[in-house]
Structure 1
Amino acid sequence: MEAATKKILVIRFSSIGDIVLASPVFRCLKQQLPGVEVHFLTKHSMKAVTEANPYIDQFHYFNNNLNELIPKLMSQQFDFIIDLHKNFRSWLIQFQLKVPVYGYHKLSRQKWLLTRFGINQMPDRHITLRSLDALAALGVVNDEQGLDYFIPDGKGIQTNDLPASHQFGYIAIVIGASYATKKLPIPKLQQLCAQIQYPIILIGGKEDQQEGHEIASIDPIRIYNACGKFSLHESADLVKQAKLVISHDTGLQYIACAFNKKVLAIWGGTSPKLAVEPYYGSKQLASHKNEVGYHNFIVPDLSCQPCSNYGKKKCPKGHFNCMQLQDTASIAAMAMQWIQ
C-alpha cells in the first residue's frame, strides 16, 4: 500500500479519561506509518481534550446527527477505521463507510460478570494496551511512551491565578467524578485535607464548586477551592504543576499520568480490576527513590466492589463501604512522604 493512501479514522466519542487513555494510538500511528493521515472522530463536547494534539491531522465532531456526519466522513475515502468505542453508533458509521475496521477488545461480558456477580474473568491487559493492540494488523506497536495531553499555547494557568500561598508548591486533589460512587463523601475529603499539612488545591468542575467550598472551609488559607473556576486546560495545568495528585477515577487522573505526575488513586464503585488504573508506559516516572509513580487505595475484601463499570448515583448496598472505609490517614501519610 502506498504511503499516500494511508488515511485512517480513529473513533472514540467520549469520555475525557477514555480519550486520554487512548492517546498513544494517535502518536504511534503518526510516528510509525510514514505519510499517514490521522483523523479523529469524537463528540463535539470532547473537543478540548485533543484540540492541540500534534499527531491528529484532522478532526470530525459528532453533534447528535449521524445523517449529517456520515456523508462528510464518506467523502474522506478512508482506508481504515480504528474503532475504540465499539457501540451501535460506531457500527453504523462502519457499515456506511465500508472499509476495513480494527477494534479493541471491549470486554463487555467480562465487565458485566465482574460488576454483577464478582466473577473476575478480566485479562491482565490495561485498556491502553488493548487500544494499541488494535493497531497490530497495521504493523504499529506500543512505543512505551505513555499517555499524552497537550495544553494549547496561552490556555494554561497564569501565576497570578493562584494565591501566593500556593505558588511555591501544592498537592492537587481532584474531588470530582462522573458518578457519586466514585467520590469520597465530603466529610472524608475534609478529614483527608485536615491530615495533609501542605498547601492543597481542590480541582473539579462547576458542579463540584459547592462541595469544594465545604471542604476548603476547614482551612481556607491552606486549601484553595479551584472547582469551577478554570477551564479543562487550566485544570490540566494545575495538575501538571502539582507536587502530587490525589484523584478519584476520573479524567484528570489520567491527565496527571500524561504529565508523568505521581498519583494516589482512590477507588470506590469502580476498580483497577476493570483494567483502567493509572498508566505511564516505561517512561521515567516522576517519583522519588525509584518508587512506582502511583498507588491505588482500595478498601480490601469487599465482595461488592466493583459494583459498576462507570459508577452509580448511589451505593446499591446502601453502606458505601468502598469509600466510607477508606483510610484517609494512610493516604495523607503517603502524600506527605511522596512530596519530600
Structure 2
Amino acid sequence: MSKTLKHILVIRLSAMGDVAMTVPVLRAFNKQYPGVKLTVLTRPFFAPFFRDLKNVEVFAIDLKDQHKGVLGLFKLSKAIRKLKVDAVADLHNVLRTKILKLFLIGKTVKQLDKGRNEKKALVSGDLFAPLKSTHQRYADVFEALGFKLDLSNPEFSDKKAIPKTILEAVDTQNRKQWIGIAPFAQYASKMYPLEQMKTVIAELQKDYIIFLFGGKADKAQLDTLLVDNKSVINVAGQYGLNQELDLISNLDVMISMDSGNAHLAAMLGVNVVTIWGVTHPYAGFGAFNQPNANNVVPDIEAYPKLPTSIYGNKYPEDYKTVAGTIQPLQIIDRVKAVLKA
C-alpha cells in the first residue's frame, strides 16, 4: 500500500454498464483502504451508482458545455487540482482522458489496460478462453498505484425501500419472488427475440412477479409482453434512476442481455442470468460475482465464430439472430435453478 496517496481521482465517463462495473471495485477499495478518499469523475446521470459508497464523492463532468473540447478539459483540470488529489486512476483510457491527464502533469497516473490484443485474438478465432474480467482490470489500476485489491469476498448494500407505487401494484402480503427482465441492448445482435421472451414470461409469471425494465422509449414495446394480470409490471420510464435502483435491489434475479442492466443488478448484489448473442462472457464483460452457469450462450459448436465482436457491432449476417437459437426452456430452467438456490 502506498502511504503517501490519500486522495485518488477515479475516471470512468461512460458507458452505463462500464461505469456500473466500477462500483464493486470501489466498494472493495473502501473496505480494504478506508483511509483513502476517492473522487469519481463521471457523467452526472451516473452519480446514483455511487450513493452508498463510503468516502467516495462524485465530480460530475459537463461534456456538453463547461468541459467540452480541449479548452473545457483544461478548465476541468484546474478544478481537479483544487481538489488536491494525489493520484489518478484512469479506468476509461480514451483520447479525452489522455488529454486531461496531460493537463494534470505532476500527478501520479495509472490507466486501464484494455487487453486489446487478447480481445482481438478472441474475436478472430485465434483464442477461445476466458480473458481477465473488466472488474479485475479496474482493480489492476489500483494495484499499480500501490493498492492491491481482493474482489473475492464482496459485500453489498442493504435492499432499499420499495417505491410506493410498486407496493400498490403488487400483492406483497403473498409476496412471490421477484424477477426483473431487461430485454434490450445497444445492438439487436445481442438481444433475445421478443416473441421468444414472451414464452419465457408466460411460464415464469405463473409463479413469480415480473418487472420489465427499459428506457422511456421502450415502454410501448414492453407493453406487448404484458399478460392480463398483476404478475407482469412494465416499469420502463416510470421512475428516476434512484428509484429504479431501489426496485432492482429488491429483485431475486435479473434476466438481462449483455447490457447495462446486468451490471446494475450485479453491483447491487442481485443474481443475474445473462443471455448472450454474438458477444461472449469470455471477453471479460460478464456480470460481477455470478457463476458461469448464469451465462446462457448459443451453441458454440454450431456457431464456431462466436464471439464475432466484443461489443456486438460486427457479425456475419447469418449470426445476427444467433441469440434466438437459445431455447426459452434453457432460460426458464436457469432462472428457476437460481431462485431455488
Common fold by TM > 0.5: yes
CA distance in 1, matches of 2:228, 2:187: 26
Q: Report the Cα offset of residue 12 of structure 1.
A: 0.6
Q: 2:24 touches 2:267 (CA, 8 Å); kept in 1?
A: no
Partner of 1:102 in structure 2? 110
Partner of 2:239 in structure 1? 230
> Sequence identity of aligned pairs in percent?
24
Q: Which amino acid aligns with 1:158?
A: K
Runs of 4+ aligned structure 1 residues displaced above 4 Å come to 1-5, 147-151, 159-162
Partner of 1:268 in structure 2? 277
For residue 201 of structure 2, the aligned residue among 193, 207, 210 is 193
Q: Report the Cα offset of residue 68 of structure 1.
A: 3.0
Alignment of 1:213-252 (within 5 A): 213-216=223-226, 218-252=227-261
Q: Which amino acid aligns with 1:109?
A: N
SS of alignment partner, residue 195 of structure 2 = helix
Q: Report the Cα offset of residue 132 of structure 1.
A: 0.7
Q: Report the Cα offset of residue 71 of structure 1.
A: 1.8
Q: Residues 309 and 248 of structure 1: is their aligned pair in 2 closer, same or farther, counting only changes over 3 Å?
A: same
Deviations 1:4-29 (A, max 9, x none): 76221111111222122122442344
Q: 2:183 touches 2:194 (CA, 8 Å); kept in 1?
A: no
2:71 maps to 1:80: no
2:42 maps to 1:42: yes
Deviations 1:161-214 (A, max 9, x none): 552347712221122322222221211111211232333211112122122111
Q: Residues 143 and 272 of structure 1: is their aligned pair in 2 closer, same or farther, counting only changes over 3 Å?
A: closer
Unaligned ranges ≥5, structure 2: none
Aligned length: 325
Q: Report the Cα offset of residue 67 of structure 1.
A: 3.8
Alignment of 1:294-309 (within 5 A): 295-301=294-300, 302-309=303-310
Q: 2:298 touches 2:326 (CA, 8 Å); kept in 1?
A: yes
Q: Residues 58 and 331 of structure 1: is their aligned pair in 2 closer, same or farther, counting only changes over 3 Å?
A: closer
Q: Report the Cα offset of residue 234 of structure 1.
A: 2.4
Q: Residues 23 and 337 of structure 1: is their aligned pair in 2 closer, same or farther, counting only changes over 3 Å?
A: closer
Deviations 1:112-148 (A, max 9, x none): 3433x23327663211112111122313322534375
Q: Report the Cα offset of residue 157 of structure 1.
A: 2.1
Q: 2:91 touches 2:111 (CA, 8 Å); kept in 1?
A: yes
Q: Which amino acid aligns with 1:324?
A: G
Partner of 2:186 in structure 1? 178
Q: Residues 331 and 166 of structure 1: is their aligned pair in 2 closer, same or farther, counting only changes over 3 Å?
A: farther
Deviations 1:222-276 (A, max 9, x none): 3221222122232223222223221111222123223333221101122101111
CA distance in 2, matches of 1:337, 1:208: 29
Partner of 1:289 in structure 2? none
Partner of 1:209 in structure 2? 219
CA distance in 2, matches of 1:265, 1:2: 38
2:172 maps to 1:163: no
Q: Report the Cα offset of residue 89 of structure 1.
A: 0.8
326-335 vs 105-114, which moves further: 105-114
Deviations 1:291-340 (A, max 9, x none): x586111011223322332233x964155342121111121123234333
TM-score (norm: length of structure 2)? 0.83
Q: Which amino acid aligns with 2:147?
A: G
Q: 2:253 touches 2:272 (CA, 8 Å); kept in 1?
A: yes
Q: Residues 73 and 253 of structure 1: is their aligned pair in 2 closer, same or farther, counting only changes over 3 Å?
A: same
For residue 133 of structure 1, the aligned residue among 117, 121, 140 is 140
Deviations 1:95-122 (A, max 9, x none): 110122112321123323433x233276
Q: Residues 263 and 2 of structure 1: is their aligned pair in 2 closer, same or farther, counting only changes over 3 Å?
A: closer
2:97 maps to 1:90: yes
Partner of 1:288 in structure 2? none
SS of alignment partner, residue 9 of structure 1 = strand
Unaligned ranges ≥5, structure 1: 286-291
Q: Which amino acid aligns with 1:310?
A: Y
Q: Report the Cα offset of residue 33 of structure 1.
A: 3.9
TM-score (norm: length of structure 1)? 0.83
2:262 maps to 1:253: yes
Q: 2:5 touches 2:87 (CA, 8 Å); kept in 1?
A: no
Q: 2:38 touches 2:57 (CA, 8 Å); kept in 1?
A: yes
CA distance in 1, matches of 2:104, 2:192: 44
CA distance in 2, matches of 1:47, 1:9: 15
CA distance in 2, matches of 1:160, 1:327: 31
Q: Report the Cα offset of residue 82 of structure 1.
A: 0.6
CA distance in 2, matches of 1:320, 1:267: 12
Q: 1:81 touches 1:101 (CA, 8 Å); kept in 2?
A: yes
Q: Residues 133 and 26 of structure 1: is their aligned pair in 2 closer, same or farther, counting only changes over 3 Å?
A: same
